[in-house]
Amino acid sequence: MIQEEMLQYQQLDGELNRIERELRKNESFVKRRQYKAASQECEETINRLDARALELKNQLAQAQQTVQNITEIIEDHSREIGSLEDEDELNYMNKKLNEQLAELNNVEKEIKRILRDGEDISKAFDEASAKLPRLVAGFRKCDEEFNKAAAEVKPRVNEIRTRQAELKKSIDENIFNIYKKVADGGLYPVFVPLEDGTRCGGCRMEMPKAQVDAQFAGKTYMRCEHCGRIIFKKE
């Protein structure tokens, strides 16, 4: 037989579990989590856009520098062409000039692309920046509501914890450690009665009587091989 205090302790844990489950089902708890995820995502978007804007700024500066370099080369070429009379040399310089003009055309296209991207980013940035305060406000409101709901059950939770602390003083340490280990693994209840002499009171698994008798020989409890709960004999 498992101590009555242990079973009471377990029952109180059951009530705590129920309270926690109810709180988690609370609309403000669910919405709070959604708001939090959404605002985190929004912040990440803003950071990403910031980084992209910086990248574009650097690209633009680089492209503008390239434009300046090409312009200087074109000016040089134009000056040289003005002083040339030989047709071959003229053709050669014209070819070089055209190459530079084509290059300039490409860079100008690149600049347009950067500016377009910049506009898109700026728009996305404005949208995200306008959305963030709404999400943060939504989170705060739900957080407040949830805290209120949590505060309502707090007295009962405290009462349970105080009672459990009292009970624990008279619970066999070995049994309590087994309980904690199984309970922390997510099983509830941990201690279940043997039903009809052969069945686990937790998962209802039927066991051969000889096996049950062998397991209980000299012991007050046995472990269910199927669900891992601790089975005790009712007296």
Q: Which residues bind Zn ion (CB under 5 A)?
A: 200, 202-203, 205, 224, 226-227, 229
User: Which CA distances in Å does 22 have to 18, 32, 68, 138?
Assistant: 6, 15, 68, 21
Least distance in Å: CB of 220 to Zn ion? 17
Residue among 160 and 230 whose Cβ is closer to Zn ion:
230
Pair of tokens at residue 195 = 């039903």
CB 226 to Zn ion: min, Å: 5
Angle at 40 between CA 37 and CA 123, to 5 degrees: 120
Q: Least distance (Å) from Zn ion to the CB of residue 204?
A: 7
| 206 phi and psi angles, rounded to 5 deg | -85, 135
Q: How far is the CB of 195 from Zn ion (least distance, A)?
A: 10
**Alpha-carbon distance 156 to 149, whole Å?**
12
Can you tell me whether residue 233 is helix, strand or coil?
coil
Determine contact, residues 233/1, Cβ cutoff 8 Å: yes
Q: Which is nearer to Zn ion, 73 or 203 (CB)?
A: 203
Q: What is the smallest separation between the CB atom of 219 and Zn ion, expressed in angstroms?
A: 17
By beta-carbon proximity to Zn ion, the closer residue of 60 and 227 is 227
Q: Which is nearer to Zn ion, 86 or 196 (CB)?
A: 196
By CB atoms closer than 10 A (0-12, 13-18, 19+), residue 35 is buried
Q: Which is nearer to Zn ion, 57 or 204 (CB)?
A: 204
